[in-house]
Amino acid sequence: QAKAAGRNTFRFHDPAVQAAWSARAELEGSLRRALQHDEFILHYQPQLDRSGRVLGAEALLRWRLPNGKVLYPAEFIRAAEESGIIVEIGKWVLRTACAELARWQRSPDTAGLTLSVNVSARQFNQPDFVPMLQGIFEHSGVQPSGLKLELTESLVITDFTQTAHTMATLKRRGLSFSLDDFGTGYSSLAYLRKLPLDQLKIDHSFMRDVLTDQNDASIVRSIIALGDSLGLQVIAEGVETLGQRQFLSDAGCYLYQGFLYQHALSAEHFTQYARGVH
Ligand code: C2E
Ligand code: MG
Ligand code: MG
Ligand code: MG
What are the tens digits of pLDDT across the range 36-85?
999 999 999 999 999 999 999 999 999 999 999 999 999 999 999 999 99
pLDDT at residue 8 in the model: 52
What residues does the ion ligand 3 have nearby, CB within 5 Å? 180-181, 237
Ligand 1 contact, 73 CB (< 6 A): yes
Q: Model's pTM, two decimal places?
A: 0.93
pLDDT digits (tens, 9 = 90+) for 105-123: 999 999 999 999 999 999 9
Ligand 1 contact, 61 CB (< 6 A): yes
- Within a 10 A sphere around the Cβ of 239, how many other Cβ atoms? 25
Ligand 1 contact, 181 CB (< 6 A): yes
Ligand 1 contact, 208 CB (< 6 A): no
pLDDT at residue 46 in the model: 98
Ligand 1 contact, 97 CB (< 6 A): no
pLDDT under 50: residue ranges of the chain:
1-6
Tell how far the Cα of 201 is from the centroid of ligand 2, in angstroms: 8
24 and 35 Cβ atoms separated by less than 8 Å? no
pLDDT at residue 191 in the model: 80
CA angle 253, 181, 247 (to 5 degrees): 25
Q: Which ligand is nearest to the CA of 178?
A: 2
pLDDT at residue 278 in the model: 54
pLDDT at residue 189 in the model: 78
Q: Would you give the DSSP letter of residue 12? A: -
pLDDT at residue 187 in the model: 67
- Within a 10 A sphere around the Cβ of 52, how many other Cβ atoms? 9
pLDDT at residue 277 in the model: 62
User: Alpha-carbon distance 238 to 241, whole Å?
Assistant: 9
User: Alpha-carbon distance 30 to 80, whole Å?
Assistant: 10
pLDDT at residue 3 in the model: 45
pLDDT at residue 5 in the model: 47
Q: Name the residue among 146, 133, 135, 136 with its Cα closest to residue 106.
A: 146
Ligand 1 contact, 235 CB (< 6 A): no
What residues does the ion ligand 4 have nearby, CB within 5 Å? 181
User: Alpha-carbon distance 182 to 242, whole Å?
Assistant: 22
pLDDT at residue 1 in the model: 41
Q: Would you give the DSSP letter of residue 258? A: S
61 and 40 Cβ atoms separated by less than 8 Å? yes
User: ipTM, 2 decimals?
Assistant: 0.97
